[in-house]
Each structure stands twice: as C-alpha cells, then as structure tokens.
C-alpha cells in the first residue's frame, strides 16, 4: 500500500509523507472544517474519541486566529448586547 501511495504522490509532484502523517492531516483538516469529532473518529476507525482529539488533531493557525478574533469581538460588545 505504501508503495502505491508514494507512486501516486510522486507522479502528482507531491512531497512523500508517511501514511500515518496523512491520518493526522485528515483529522486536523476535517476538524477545522467543522466536521463533528465523532464523525472524524469513525472515519479514522478509532474506538475512543480521546485518541482522535488528543493525538490526531492539531490546531490550525487560521482557526486559532478566528477564535481569537471572535473572542475579541465578544469582549468589545457593549453590556446587554448579545
């Protein structure tokens, strides 16, 4: 399987990565896109959500920036305006 994967990546001009790294990327991108963690867990075949969330997903900088901007907007709202 790995040989097929590396051939496809090479022919597409992509840097070859380990299949395991692709699983991390999959979990991170799906989570950043708003896919429910339980769904990501099932796609990856994990039996526990903690494996998916604690080991396989990573914070995407754009998502982190959006969260910080959102918090900034919340803190700047006048009292009583929600």
Question: Residues 6 or more apart from 18 whose CB is under 8 A from it?
Answer: none
> What is the tens place of the pLDDT at every residue in 33-76?
999 999 999 999 999 999 999 999 998 888 889 889 999 999 99
Residue 31 belongs to some domain of the structure: yes
DSSP-derived secondary structure letter, 14: P
Question: Residues 6 or more apart from 41 whose CB is under 8 A from it?
Answer: 48, 49, 51, 52
Residue 34 belongs to some domain of the structure: yes
Residue 25 belongs to some domain of the structure: yes
Residue 26 belongs to some domain of the structure: yes
Residue 72 belongs to some domain of the structure: yes
pLDDT of the residue at 35: 97
Query: How many domains is the chain partitioned into structurally?
Result: 1
Candidates 60, 79, 58; CA nearest to 68 is 60
User: Could you tell me the pTM of the whole model?
Assistant: 0.69
Candidates 69, 45, 71; CA nearest to 56 is 45
Residue 30 belongs to some domain of the structure: yes
Domain range for 70 is: 19-76
């Amino acid at each position: 399987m790995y040989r097929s994967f590396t051939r496809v990546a090479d022919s597409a001009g992509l840097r070859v990565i380990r299949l395991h790294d692709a699983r991390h990327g999959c979990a991170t991108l799906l989570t950043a896109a708003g896919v429910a963690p339980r769904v990501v867990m099932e796609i990856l075949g994990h039996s526990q959500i903690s494996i998916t969330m604690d080991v396989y997903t990573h914070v995407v900088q754009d998502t982190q920036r959006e969260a910080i901007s959102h918090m900034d907007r919340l803190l700047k709202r006048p009292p009583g305006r929600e």
